């Protein structure tokens, strides 16, 4: 009987947490240097979540909690490595109807944008990732970043202004 409960617990865990892995990976990728480091971070987060699975039912927003754990884990990794050379990617820009020239141009523009975002502070990068890429609500971002919603809005505005300034500098 007990093993049946554990099996259900594992099935429920996988049903609720596994669909979030892609979002967790994208956040980790924004904060860490390499895709391999991001994969390792997500695996570590999954282990942490598995170990806390009995407490997860108490969480009102499981996805926001998982994102917070991922953010904190990545910050810990960055502190350990003291690595500020963060490389960024976002691979949701593919269009099958584009010519090879258009694909190359889009890749070039994405690379330029990533370089500009990479020049921002970790907080700015994280908030841009959560709001503009992952489309989280201000309330969820406030919970993940442990900030007030007002502070999230102000920080996002500043991050966008800094990004625009960085893009203008790069074009000059």
Res 107: pLDDT: 80
For the cut 90, the answer to whether the pLDDT of residue 58 exceeds it is: no
Res 96: pLDDT: 56
Rounded to the nearest 10°, the torsion over CA 120, 121, 125, 126 is 180
For each of the domains in the chain, give its residue range(s) and CATH number, in order of start.
1-87 (1.10.1740), 98-172 (1.10.10.10)
Task: State the average pLDDT for the chain.
Answer: 81
**pTM (two decimals):** 0.57
CB of 32 within 8 A of CB of 52?
Answer: no
Res 78: pLDDT: 79
Res 85: pLDDT: 42
Res 51: pLDDT: 86
Q: How far is CA 145 from the centre of its chain?
A: 12
Other beta carbons within 10 angstroms of residue 46's beta carbon come to: 20
pLDDT one-digit tens code per residue, 98-155:
677 777 777 888 888 888 888 899 899 999 988 888 888 899 899 889 999 999 999 9
CB of 57 within 8 A of CB of 9?
Answer: no
Q: What are phi and psi of 114, to 5 degrees?
A: -60, -40
Give the mean model confidence (pLDDT) for residues 30-43: 86
Res 147: pLDDT: 93
Res 90: pLDDT: 44
CB of 169 within 8 A of CB of 120?
Answer: no
């Amino acid at each position: 009987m007990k093993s049946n409960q554990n099996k259900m617990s594992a099935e429920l865990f996988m049903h609720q947490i596994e669909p979030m892995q892609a979002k967790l990976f994208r956040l980790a990728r924004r904060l860490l240097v390499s895709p391999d480091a991001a994969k390792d971070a997500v695996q570590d987060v999954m282990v942490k979540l598995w170990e806390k699975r009995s407490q997860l039912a108490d969480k009102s927003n499981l996805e926001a909690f998982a994102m917070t754990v991922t953010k904190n884990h990545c910050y810990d990794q960055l502190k350990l490595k003291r690595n500020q050379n963060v490389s960024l990617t976002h691979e949701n820009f593919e269009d099958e109807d584009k010519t090879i020239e258009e694909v190359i141009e889009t890749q070039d523009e994405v690379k330029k944008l990533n370089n500009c975002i990479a020049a921002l502070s970790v907080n700015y990068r994280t908030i841009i990732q959560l709001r503009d890429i992952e489309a989280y609500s201000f309330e969820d971002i406030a919970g993940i970043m442990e900030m007030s919603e007002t502070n999230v809005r102000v920080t996002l505005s500043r991050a966008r202004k800094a990004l625009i300034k960085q893009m203008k500098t790069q074009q000059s």
